[in-house]
């Protein structure tokens, strides 16, 4: 999750909503991404979607059945839907997102085989998000 937080920090410094994600396969990071919706002018450029695409590209395979995602914020419905299709084995998120997180909508959005864990480094991830929105308001 520390590596995902580093990605969130990169997003913060680029004036993007600070969310970062990494995907791990066999104890190796195979994808790192941060939110790039502003840079790419594309609402689909969330850290998770970019990480899924990068991981599939690295593996040369569509399915991420042996992979774990670490992301600093609870995935939205779009990202949860993408994670469903990827059949990823584990999703770890730091901060919760009671407004747009997938758990609020329907925690069944993920694949039934996907294990979910939350809270690790949640305070740090949330504090970075709060700092970002504070900066935005100024």
Residue owning tokens 């998120």 = 93
Of 15-23, 24-32, 58-66, 122-130, which part binds a copy of itself (CB under 8 A)? Answer: 58-66
Q: Where are the beta strands (DSSP E) in the chain?
A: 20-25, 28-34, 67-73, 90-95, 115-118
Of 3-11, 16-24, 80-88, 124-132, which part binds a copy of itself (CB under 8 A)? Answer: 80-88
116 touches a copy of itself by CB under 8 A:
no
- Check 3, 13, 38, 48 and give the catalytic one: 48
Distance (Å) of CA 41 to CA 22, 35, 46, 119, 138: 22, 11, 11, 30, 23
Pairing verdict, β 20-25 and 28-34: antiparallel
Annotated binding-site ranges for Zn(2+): 46, 76, 79
What residue ranges bind a copy of itself (CB under 8 A)? 37-38, 41-44, 49, 52-53, 56-57, 60-63, 76-82, 84-86, 105-106, 108-109
């Amino acid at each position: 999750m520390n590596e995902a937080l580093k990605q969130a920090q990169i997003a913060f410094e680029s004036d993007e909503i600070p969310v970062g994600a990494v995907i791990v396969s066999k104890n190796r990071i195979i994808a790192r991404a941060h939110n790039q919706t502003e840079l790419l002018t594309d609402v689909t450029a969330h850290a998770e979607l970019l990480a899924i695409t990068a991981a599939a590209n690295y593996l040369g395979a569509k399915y991420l059945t042996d992979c774990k995602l670490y992301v600093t914020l609870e995935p939205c419905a779009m990202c949860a839907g993408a994670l469903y299709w990827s059949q990823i084995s584990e999703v770890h998120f730091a901060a919760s997102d009671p407004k747009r997180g997938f758990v609020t909508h329907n925690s069944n959005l993920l694949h039934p085989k996907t294990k979910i864990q939350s809270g690790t480094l949640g305070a740090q991830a949330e504090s970075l998000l709060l700092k970002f929105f504070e900066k935005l308001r100024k």
